[in-house]
Structures are given as C-alpha cells and as structure tokens.
Amino acid sequence: MIRFEQVSKQFPNGTFAVKSLDLEIKKGEFFVLIGPSGSGKTTTLKMINRLIELSNGWVWINERKISDYDINELRWNIGYVLQQIALFPHMTIAENIAVVPELKNWDKEKISVRVDDLLNMVGLDPKEYRNRKPNELSGGQQQRVGVTRALAADPEILLMDEPFSALDPFSREKLQDDMLEIQRKLKKTIVFVTHDMKEALKLGDRICLMKDGEIVQVGTPHEFLTNPANDFVREFVGGRKIPIHLNELITQVPAGQVLSDTKTISLSTPVVEALEQLALLEQIAVEDNGKLLGFISRQNALKVMTQYMREGGQIHE
Ligand code: ADP
Ligand code: MG
C-alpha cells in the first residue's frame, strides 16, 4: 500500500532527518511510528503526502510513485491530522468538516449526510454541534472534529502526527478508543506518530521505532514486548519498569501470624527488588508500618508477572 524504498531526507542546512528508510505499510493497517524527539517521525510522515520532498529514494502508494500523482489527487486521498487543531475559526463545525468534499464537488445532500454520520461516529450529536464554531468546543471535541474532517472525503490513507498529545489523559484515552472503533469500521490505512509507547501498544497493528532517522525495530506490539531488538527498544517499551504494586502480589493474609525466620520487606519496596529476593527465596513476607500484610510466593509472583506481560498494554511508568 505505502512503500518506502531507500528514502533519505537531508535538509538544506545539512541535517539528515531520515536515512535510507525501507518500509512497507499494508492496506488497512494501523501503523505507528514512534521514537524520541528529532528521530525523523514527522519528516517520514510528511514525505507520504509530499509536504516534504524526498532527497533520495522512492515512496510508492498502491504501486505508483507519489511523484507521479497529481498533487491535489494525492492530498485529497490522504487525510491529515496534526497535534495543533487547525480548524478554521470563522467557519461552523459542519463547514469545517465539508472542506475537502466541497473541493471534490460532492453534492450538498451527500455532504450533509456525511457530516452527520461522521459527527455521530465520534460521539458528537450533529443537532447540537453542526452549527457551532470551533471555539465553542473543548480541546478534545475540537480534535475529534479534526479527525472527522480528515476522514470527510473518505480518503484511503490517514496520517496522524501526535494527534492526541496535547489532550488531558481522559480525552486522550477516549479518542484512542474512538480511533480503534473507526479503524474497525472504516478499515483505513493509518500512519500514526506518537512518542508514547503506551499509546503505540494500544493502537498499533505494527509499530516502527525510529532513532536518528533510522529504523531500530518494526513489529507487532507483542513482538516489542516479548522480543525487543536491543536495550534501546527495551528501555523505550519500559520493560525495565514494572507496573505492579507490591500489594497485587500478596496472596495469603495471615491471621495474627508473626514469622521470625521469613525475610520481611516493606510495602514500599520496589517490585524489582522484591523479585530479586524471590529469585533466592520461595516466599517473602510484606509488612507496612510494622504490621504484617501477608506473603508473596515465588510461584504467585511469576504467575501475576506473566499475566501482565501477556496483556502487554499494562506496561507504563
Ligand atoms: P520527530 O518528528 O521525530 O521529532 P522530525 O522529523 O521533525 O523529528 O525531525 C528530524 C530531524 O530533522 C531533527 O533533527 C530536526 O531538527 C530536523 N529537521 C526537521 N525539519 C527540519 C527543517 N525544515 N530544516 C532543518 N532540519 C529539520
Ligand atoms: Mg514530530
């Protein structure tokens, strides 16, 4: 569907933003580009819709070089969502969504139906929101309109550059859920840039981790969690940070038991340290302010940890 072949980008000031990139994004795939700031994610994304010219190599869409497309044909067939909501302030929500369908000369009735469908899809009641101006919506609602506007003319491809990173955690999760639903219904090919691994693991069919303009690893969320290519990936995935609180590992609560010969740790002990102890001992006791809370057995700790790793998305700071 979208194929990068030895693509490089060097800016006039000499910066090599992308270095000989080879990458294939499949039709209908939710593809996430992730990496630290300055790793070349935005440059990669903008080369797809020719907002940035390639220095070397080729990008193909449906087996046709992007340079062979008429630029308008190309852009209209690619929706684009940015972090900074770029709705036109003097236009209503309905007018904002209708921009590309109008350019494509859809008839009024078809546009109107499309606007209502899209607003419904992202949970904004058309009767209430159609005629509002962007400043009469919250940040999360505006970004939802940004997504519907990008989808309005039914493009095959949707490019999203850190679209939710300016939102509060609640709106952000809601919009992530919306995106999964949209993807399930509409089967678009989505290229989504983020620097948040949790978001990438939640949304991506596949993830591509970049560093200094190069690919470090491409794979499914499962592969990132279970088979990181190197320490950089491991650190990015957060594999060294364990999300579980110690009290989630405690199994038996004793009735007035006091054990003198069991290794006892405090509830505030980092989980990693508790696990290190369990590498040596079958079980450890946990106390909080002198009160015995219970025990962690090696067997149970392993079981809980394995479950966490299987669920993948649970790994966070
Ligand atoms: P990311 O989106 O991963 O943060 P970018 O693709 O924006 O990274 O940038 C990659 C590298 O290219 C960075 O070093 C950045 O400073 C540089 N860069 C981006 N745009 C330009 C530009 N127009 N001119 C010169 N250097 C640029
Ligand atoms: Mg960027």
- Phi, psi (rounded to 5 degrees) for 311: -75, -15
> Are both 285 and 232 inside the same structural domain?
no
> Are both 129 and 23 inside the same structural domain?
yes
Domain count, the chain: 2
Give the pTM.
0.76
> Are both 163 and 303 inside the same structural domain?
no
pLDDT digits (tens, 9 = 90+) for 133-160: 999 999 889 999 999 999 998 999 999 9
> Are both 215 and 266 inside the same structural domain?
no
Domain for residue 316, yes or no?
no
Ligand 1 geometric centre to CA of 51 (Å): 13
> Are both 232 and 264 inside the same structural domain?
no
> Are both 11 and 93 inside the same structural domain?
yes
Distance CA 261, CA 237 (A): 38
- From the alpha carbon of 210, which atom of ligand 1 is closest? 3
> Are both 184 and 291 inside the same structural domain?
no
One DSSP character per residue, the chain reads -EEEEEEEEE-TTS-EEEEEEEEEE-TT-EEEEE-STTSSHHHHHHHHTTSS--SEEEEEETTEEGGGS-HHHHHHTEEEEESS----TTS-HHHHHTHHHHHTT--HHHHHHHHHHHHHHTT--HHHHTT--GGGS-HHHHHHHHHHHHHTT--SEEEEESTTTTS-HHHHHHHHHHHHHHHHHH--EEEEEES-HHHHHHH-SEEEEEETTEEEEEE-HHHHHH--SSHHHHHHHTTTS----GGGT--PPPSS---SSS-EEETTS-HHHHHHHHHH-SEEEEEETTEEEEEEEHHHHHHHHHHHHHH-TT---
In the prediction, which pLDDT does 299 show? 87
Consecutive 10-residue averages of pLDDT for the chain (317 residues):
97 95 97 93 96 96 95 91 85 95 93 95 94 93 92 94 85 90 92 92 95 96 89 78 68 63 85 87 86 84 74 43
Ligand 1 geometric centre to CA of 63 (Å): 27
What CATH number is attached to the domain comprising 284?
3.10.580.10
What CATH number is attached to the domain comprising 199?
3.40.50.300
Distance CA 74, CA 212 (A): 28
Domain for residue 101, yes or no?
yes
In this structure, the residue with its CA closest to atom 5 of ligand 1 is: 40
> Are both 47 and 143 inside the same structural domain?
yes
Last residue of a domain, one of 204, 237, 270: 237
> Are both 121 and 23 inside the same structural domain?
yes
In the prediction, which pLDDT does 9 show? 97
Domain for residue 315, yes or no?
no
Q: What residues flank ligand 1, with Cβ below 6 Å?
A: 11, 13, 15, 17, 35, 37-43
- Phi, psi (rounded to 5 degrees) for 236: -65, -40
Domain for residue 165, yes or no?
yes
Domain for residue 317, yes or no?
no
- From the alpha carbon of 46, which atom of ligand 1 is closest? 6
Last residue of a domain, one of 191, 212, 237: 237
Which residues, chain by chain, have CB under 5 Å from ion ligand 2?
42
pLDDT digits (tens, 9 = 90+) for 194-248: 988 889 999 999 999 999 999 999 999 989 988 899 988 988 887 544 556 777 7
In this structure, the residue with its CA closest to atom 6 of ligand 1 is: 40
Domain for residue 156, yes or no?
yes
Ligand 1 geometric centre to CA of 130 (Å): 37
- Tell me the two tokens of residue 5: 């072949």
In this structure, the residue with its CA closest to atom 21 of ligand 1 is: 11
In the prediction, which pLDDT does 83 show? 79
User: Whole domain around residue 256: which residue ranges?
Assistant: 246-310
